[in-house]
């Protein structure tokens, strides 16, 4: 398995582009720093995983929607699920 790579663009008026790749699939989105600091939440989630948490999720604000990155650990293997439209995950219709 290849590693998971997060790449961040340059901040622009409160918006930041992020690219997530596992070497096979790339997911790109641009998120806002309002209403939460997603970079800080991502760092906290990764630290929690490092010390034994088995599942963490981070919301990235797309205003007004959210993308969700969910990390799951099982048998020492990390799996990342990306939900680009949180409304679909939560069962909310448009």
Residue 22: how many CB atoms within 10 A of its CB?
Answer: 14
Locate 17 and state its tokens.
């582009």
pLDDT reported for residue 2: 62
Report the C-alpha gap between 37 and 75 in whole angstroms. 30
Tell me the pLDDT band of 85, cut-offs 50, 70 and 90: confident
- Give the N- to C-terminal CA distance of the chain in Å, as an integer: 36
* Model confidence pLDDT, tens digit, residues 13-39: 999 999 999 888 898 989 998 888 899
């Amino acid at each position: 398995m290849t590693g998971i790579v997060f790449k961040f663009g340059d901040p622009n008026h409160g918006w930041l582009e992020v690219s997530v790749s596992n070497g096979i699939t790339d997911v790109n989105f641009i998120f806002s720093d309002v209403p939460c600091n997603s970079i800080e939440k991502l760092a906290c989630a990764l630290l929690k995983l490092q010390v034994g948490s088995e599942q963490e999720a981070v919301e990235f604000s797309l205003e007004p929607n959210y993308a969700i990155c969910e990390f799951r650990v099982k048998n020492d293997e990390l799996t990342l699920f990306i939900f680009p439209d949180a409304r679909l995950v939560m069962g909310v219709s448009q």
